[in-house]
Amino acid sequence: MSKKSFFQLFKMDAARWLVPEQIGNPDDVTPIRLVKLLLHHMPLRAMMWFRLAQWCHRNRVPFLPGSLQRRLLLRYGLELAPGDEI
């Protein structure tokens, strides 16, 4: 399992949305750009919730991983378990 933090993993995910069909540099993801990306791209919002659930699962936070998993299923139609590696 990866030892990267929630923010590092999510920053790498967001870098893929900076330029269509290219993988951007994670250092180019600024807070303002990140907010704009989250507002415009629903799959990136779903990935943010998944990364948060995954972080909670790894750090043994009770209740939240399952709650976030149900949110992903109801809101986005994604059935991803917090223990899955992406």
Q: With 70 as the cut, is the pLDDT of residue 2 above it? A: no
Q: According to the 3-state scheme, what is the secondary structure of 50-71? A: HHHHHHHHHCCCCCHHHHHHHH
Tell me how far apart the alpha carbons of residues 34 and 54 are, in angstroms, rounded to a whole number: 20
CA gyration radius for the chain? 13
Q: pTM higher than 0.85 for the full model?
A: no
Residue 21 has pLDDT above 90, yes or no: no
Average pLDDT over residues 16-38: 89
